[in-house]
């Protein structure tokens, strides 16, 4: 899949796609239906499948000091969309120019003239243009006037949630419900990052951990998780992880420390991706390292039982 930054002066090969519109943070099941509708139009018209997103996320632009909230890294986003069959990911700069662009100008200058879109797929609640004045009905009108077809995806949900959303994923994660987040996403929530060197205390105590900073990820409920980690090359390894501040050995910024079972290889400086499968217990401060070690071993057994099932 090709990643294209911007919409102006594009090469012919990067124009003429059927595009899905949205932020696509998390690429949850509702997002997937929007992309599927773009793909269906692309097949019918013999065109490539494009996905239009924004960088930075509009929330980060309007709230630069907001707490971390992302559900995916840019790399995870591109990989997920590529696996769905997208040919092009358009990352449009969300800047002052984009913020002040009218909905009509966005449809004309970006979609029609810039991308040469032949079809635009969007969710029923998609808004665009200055002050979010453009909606699904406006997108249809502009499409008719500018020469691209439009499909609008109705809400996708289940018995517990009328509409899947990135907000619902964040709420599930902060509640310590990774299984609920996975049901909305269609896969486990995963944190990707470069392994950093820590104090190596875990190695001395018999449970070496790979430490990964959370960066701009939404911080899930702090505590202990059963995990599966995808290593460079694609191998997946079961484990147990502490997602927290290390209250026993010294407070730090929230980070992920994962103990990979039956694994003893050097991962420093390498990128790994850890899926949060199940929440085991809250973070806890122990009076002694012996007590900490005993609890970690018990957590490992609990994680192994869950992962086996």
State yes or no: cis peptide before 219, omega within 30 of 0. no
**CATH at residue 254:** 2.40.30.30
Pairing between strand 18-21 and 2-5?
Answer: unpaired
| 119 in the same domain as 34 | yes
pTM of the model: 0.91
Between 183 and 288, residue with greater pLDDT: 183
In a domain, 162, yes or no: no
Which pLDDT tens digit goes with each residue over 62-96? 999 999 999 999 899 999 999 999 999 999 999 99
| 7 in the same domain as 137 | yes
Q: What is the C-alpha separation between 217 and 195, in angstroms, rounded?
A: 16
pLDDT at 248: 72
190 — pLDDT class (breaks 50, 70, 90): very high
| 209 in the same domain as 104 | no
Instruction: Name the phi and psi angles at 279, rounded to 5.
Output: -90, 125
| 66 in the same domain as 17 | yes
Domain boundary among 153, 172, 201: 153
For residues 248-257, give the mean pLDDT.
80
Number of domains in the chain: 2
Q: What is the C-alpha separation between 286 and 210, in angstroms, rounded?
A: 21
In a domain, 177, yes or no: no
Domain boundary among 153, 170, 198: 153
Cα separation values, 28 from 3, 181, 253, Å: 20, 9, 28
| 105 in the same domain as 29 | yes
Domain boundary among 131, 153, 175: 153
In a domain, 172, yes or no: no
Which pLDDT tens digit goes with each residue over 262-277? 998 889 999 999 999 9
| 196 in the same domain as 134 | no
142 — pLDDT class (breaks 50, 70, 90): very high
Which string of b and e fits 187-203 if b means at least 16 CB within 10 Å? ebbbbbbebeebeebbe
In a domain, 23, yes or no: yes
| 135 in the same domain as 14 | yes
Count of residues making up the chain: 309
Which pLDDT tens digit goes with each residue over 20-50? 999 999 999 999 999 999 999 999 999 999 9
172 — pLDDT class (breaks 50, 70, 90): very high
pLDDT at 287: 83
98 — pLDDT class (breaks 50, 70, 90): very high
Q: Say yes or no to pLDDT of 204 above 80.
A: no
Cβ atoms within 10 Å, residue 119: 24
| 142 in the same domain as 12 | yes
Q: Which residues pair with 122 in a beta bridge?
A: 152
pLDDT at 250: 67
**CATH at residue 96:** 3.40.50.620
Q: Say yes or no to pLDDT of 249 above 80.
A: no
In a domain, 161, yes or no: no
Among all chains, which residue has been given the structure tokens 């059963």? 226
| Helix locations, the chain, DSSP H | 29-45, 58-62, 74-83, 96-99, 103-105, 136-146, 166-174, 178-185, 201-205, 289-308
Instruction: Name the phi and psi angles at 2, rounded to 5.
Output: -90, 140
In a domain, 171, yes or no: no
**8 A C-beta contact, residue 14 and residue 116:** no
Between 249 and 109, residue with greater pLDDT: 109
pLDDT at 202: 65
pLDDT at 161: 84
| 76 in the same domain as 217 | no
Structural domain span for residue 137: 2-153
252 — pLDDT class (breaks 50, 70, 90): confident
In a domain, 110, yes or no: yes
* pLDDT averaged over every residue in the chain: 93
| 214 in the same domain as 91 | no
Cα separation values, 29 from 34, 133, 229, Å: 9, 26, 22
| 213 in the same domain as 149 | no
| 197 in the same domain as 146 | no
Instruction: Name the phi and psi angles at 15, rounded to 5.
Output: -115, 165
Sheet holding 49-55, edge to edge: 2-5, 88-93, 49-55, 18-21, 119-123, 149-153
Tokens of 9: 């002066």
In a domain, 166, yes or no: no
Q: Which residues are marked as active site?
A: 257
For residues 201-224, give the mean pLDDT.
87
Q: Which residues pair with 237 in a beta bridge?
A: 229
Q: What is the C-alpha separation between 267 and 232, in angstroms, rounded?
A: 9
For residues 11-17, give the mean pLDDT.
96
């Amino acid at each position: 899949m090709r990643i294209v930054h911007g919409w102006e002066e594009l090469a012919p090969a990067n124009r003429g796609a059927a595009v899905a519109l949205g932020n696509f943070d998390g690429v949850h099941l509702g997002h997937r239906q929007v992309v599927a509708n773009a793909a269906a139009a692309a097949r019918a018209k013999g065109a490539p499948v494009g996905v239009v997103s924004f960088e930075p996320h509009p929330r980060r632009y309007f709230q630069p000091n907001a707490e971390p909230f992302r559900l995916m890294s840019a790399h995870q986003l591109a990989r997920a969309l590529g696996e769905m069959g997208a040919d092009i990911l358009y990352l449009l700069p969300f800047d002052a120019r984009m913020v002040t662009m009218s909905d009509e100008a966005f449809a004309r200058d970006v979609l029609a003239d810039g991308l040469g879109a032949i079809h635009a797929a969007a969710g029923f609640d998609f808004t665009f243009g200055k002050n979010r004045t453009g909606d699904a009905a406006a997108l249809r009108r502009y499409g008719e006037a500018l020469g691209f077809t439009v499909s609008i995806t109705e809400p996708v949900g289940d018995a517990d949630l009328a509409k899947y959303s990135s907000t619902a994923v964040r709420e599930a994660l902060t509640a310590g419900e990774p299984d609920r987040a996975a049901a909305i996403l269609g896969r486990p929530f995963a944190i990707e990052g470069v392994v950093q060197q820590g104090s190596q205390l875990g190695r001395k105590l018999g449970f070496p951990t790979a430490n990964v900073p959370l960066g701009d990820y939404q911080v899930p409920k702090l505590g202990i998780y059963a995990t599966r980690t995808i290593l460079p090359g694609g191998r997946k390894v079961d484990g147990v992880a502490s997602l927290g501040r290390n209250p026993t050995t010294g407070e730090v910024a929230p980070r992920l420390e994962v103990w990979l079972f039956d694994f003893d290889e050097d991962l420093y400086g390498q990128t790994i991706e850890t899926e949060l499968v199940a929440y085991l217990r809250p973070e806890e401060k122990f009076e002694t390292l012996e007590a900490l070690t005993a609890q970690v071993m018990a957590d490992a057994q609990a994680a192994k039982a869950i992962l086996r099932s």
